[in-house]
Structure 1
Amino acid sequence: MRFGYSDTCLDHNPGPRHPESPDRLRAIREGLKRKHGVEYVESDPATLETIAAVHDREYLEEVREFCANGGGNWDPDTTAVEATWDAAIQSAGLACWAAETALDGADGRETPFSLGRPPGHHAVFDDAMGFCFVNNVAVATQYAIDERDAERVAIVDWDVHHGNGTQDILYDRGDVFFVSLHEGGLYPGTGEIDEIGEGDGEGTTMNVPMPPAADDVDYLAALDDVIAPALGAFDPDLLLVSAGFDAHRHDPISRIRLSTEAYALMTDRIRTLADDVDAALAFVLEGGYGLEVLADSVALVHETFDGREPIEPDGDVSVDVDETLGEVAEAHGLEY
């Protein structure tokens, strides 16, 4: 894969006890050292105008001034330092690079993966939250539409937390289909099945809140039985993955029970879906706070594109997940 990366993203340092630390990127880079075919690309930072296409401009100016004055606690979870603004616009620029590179035809072993931080999927239109200041995947989506003439973009967010910010920004959009596959009831407490979009966007938001202890088999069923049919019907030009790795069973922040292999399996499913609808494909880093499993999981995404065949799990879909998927299918008029 081709990884978008910049040392600028290391300069955002919320403090030694904060889970969203620069060590996340260092661990990923260290884990990729032993892999073949890894290439790093540094992009330009996103411009204020590009970011303001999906965020309130006054809010962005407030964040920039907040950082220029030394930063501090924006909220109890979301901390800035002087370098945070530059890291945030760099992270958004890397996401735009990933979308652009995919639309330029990069695929297979050249598939782009943006390794930016701070992450973005909790940042709403006019506020920061959940470690996020700029919604990187939403910025990249709008950039692809405005600058690269993509007509329809789909986003699959497999971070363990609901992508509330992405949903907030895109909720009334008919040209973007947003899917969030997350642990139900976890921070930030949004992402219910009946949140399906409104106005022109009615039906283009799909939330799949998974019960605690959902595992590889359960997640693959969600992808195969409700997400793939919905996105296949939507027929996007570009498919972006908000790739968080905190649903891993050894991540300290959730109760979902995914294995490392699950990320290879989900990557393979997403790649197949993109191929089936002839969509460009790119990945944008979100969460993942167990450094070793984060590094191993990102490396396995890379290895999947480098030719490794994922190993299918044994077992049946849990009763709770089967019920959830039935409700999701009903909300979106799908057979299940």
Structure 2
Amino acid sequence: MRFGFTDTCLEHDPGPRHPESPDRLRAIKRGLAKRHSVTYEGAAPATADDAVAVHDADYVERIRDFCAEGGGNWDPDTVASEDTWGAALASAGLAKDATRAALAGADGRNTPFSLGRPPGHHAVEDDAMGFCFLNNAAIAAQYAISDLDADRVAIFDWDVHHGNGTQDIFYDRGDVFYASIHEDGLYPGTGDTNETGEGDGAGATLNVPFPAGSGDADYCAGVDELLRPAVTDFDPDVVLVSAGFDAHRHDPISRMHVSTEGYGLLADRMRALADATDAALAFVLEGGYSMDTLADGVGVVHETFDGREPVGPDDEVSDDARSLLDDLLDSHPWL
């Protein structure tokens, strides 16, 4: 894959005991060093104007000033340092560049994956939360529409937490389809099945809140039965994957049972979906807080695009997941 990376993203330091540590990117790079055909590309940082395209201008000014004054606890979980603003712009810039490269034709072994931090999918229009300051995927999606002549963008968020910020930013728009598979009841407590969009965006939001313990077969069924037909009907120009790896069975802050191989299966399905819809495809890093499983998850996604065929799930769709899937098939306005 074509990985986007810049050392600036290491400079955001929320403190020695914070789970969203610079060591996350270091662990990914160590893991990728053992694998074949890894390349890294830098990117220009996003600008304040890029941020204001999806965030409230007053909020952008407040968070920039907060960092310039030394940072601190924006909320109990979301901690900034003096260098956080620069890192947030760098992270969003990597997401923009991955989207640009995908729409310019980078695919197959060159499929872009931006390795930025801080993550972004919890950042709402006018606030930081959940370790996130600027919404990287939202900035990239808006950039695709405003600057790269994309008419429609689909965002699939497989992080274990619901991407409330991305959903909220595009909730009343019909040019961005947002879909999330996440753990029911986990932070931030959003992402219910009845959150489907409003106004021009009615039906353009799809939430699949699986119960704790859901694994590879459940996630694959969610993609096959819900995401694929919905995105195919939406017909996007580009698909962005908000790729968190904290649904892994060994991640310390979730209770899901996705395996490392499961992320390869999801990546393979996204590649097939992009091919079937003739859409560009790019990945944007979100969460993942076990250093080993985060590195392995990114590594198996890379290997999938490098030619390795992932092995199908060895479990069956659980009864609770099947009930949720059937309910969504019956009730979601897009399906």
1:51 CA displacement: 1.2
1:315 CA displacement: 3.1
1:35 CA displacement: 1.0
Cα shift readout 1:11-67 (whole Å, capped 9, x = no counterpart) = 001001000000000000000001111110110000111111000011001001000
CA distance in 2, matches of 1:168, 1:117: 21
CA distance in 2, matches of 1:264, 1:202: 31
Alignment partner, residue 201 of structure 2: 201
CA distance in 1, matches of 2:76, 2:60: 19
CA contact (8 A) 1:196 1:207 kept: yes
Alignment partner, residue 178 of structure 1: 178
Indicate how the Cα distance of structure 1 residues 276 and 112 shifts in structure 2: closer, same or farther if over 3 A, else same: same
CA distance in 2, matches of 1:234, 1:119: 26
CA distance in 2, matches of 1:14, 1:315: 38
1:109 aligns with 2:116: no
Cα shift readout 1:69-107 (whole Å, capped 9, x = no counterpart) = 000000000000000000000000000000000000000
**Structure 1, unpaired ranges of 5+:** none
Cα shift readout 1:139-190 (whole Å, capped 9, x = no counterpart) = 0000000000000000000000000000010100100000011001000000
CA distance in 2, matches of 1:177, 1:167: 9
What one-letter code is carried by the residue in structure 2 that aligns with 1:95? A
CA contact (8 A) 2:2 2:38 kept: yes
1:314 CA displacement: 2.4
**Structure 2, unpaired ranges of 5+:** none
CA distance in 1, matches of 2:333, 2:65: 46
CA contact (8 A) 2:203 2:334 kept: no
1:247 CA displacement: 0.1
CA distance in 2, matches of 1:6, 1:43: 7
1:234 aligns with 2:234: yes
* Alignment length (residue pairs): 335
CA distance in 2, matches of 1:118, 1:230: 30
Indicate how the Cα distance of structure 1 residues 101 and 159 shifts in structure 2: closer, same or farther if over 3 A, else same: same
CA contact (8 A) 2:214 2:321 kept: yes
Alignment partner, residue 330 of structure 1: 330
1:284 aligns with 2:252: no
Alignment partner, residue 57 of structure 1: 57
The 5-angstrom pairing of residues 180-329 of structure 1 reads 180-329=180-329
Give the TM-score taking structure 1 as reference length. 0.99
1:310 CA displacement: 0.3
Alignment partner, residue 73 of structure 2: 73
Alignment partner, residue 125 of structure 1: 125
- Identical columns (%): 65
1:334 CA displacement: 6.2
The 5-angstrom pairing of residues 160-179 of structure 1 reads 160-179=160-179
CA distance in 1, matches of 2:330, 2:142: 29
What one-letter code is carried by the residue in structure 2 that aligns with 1:149? D
Indicate how the Cα distance of structure 1 residues 119 and 306 shifts in structure 2: closer, same or farther if over 3 A, else same: same
Give the TM-score taking structure 2 as reference length. 0.99
Cα shift readout 1:87-141 (whole Å, capped 9, x = no counterpart) = 0000000000000000000000000000000000000000000000000000000
1:326 CA displacement: 1.4
Alignment partner, residue 21 of structure 1: 21
Cα shift readout 1:243-280 (whole Å, capped 9, x = no counterpart) = 00000000000000010000000000010000000000
Alignment partner, residue 156 of structure 1: 156
Q: What secondary structure does 2:179 align onto?
A: strand
Cα shift readout 1:190-229 (whole Å, capped 9, x = no counterpart) = 0000000000000000000000100101110000011101
What one-letter code is carried by the residue in structure 2 that aligns with 1:198? E
Q: Post-superposition, which runs of at least 4 consecutive aligned residues in structure 1 deviate over 6 A?
A: none
CA contact (8 A) 1:193 1:327 kept: no
CA contact (8 A) 1:248 1:256 kept: yes
What one-letter code is carried by the residue in structure 2 that aligns with 1:273? L
CA distance in 2, matches of 1:313, 1:100: 33
CA distance in 2, matches of 1:313, 1:53: 40
Q: What secondary structure does 2:322 align onto?
A: helix
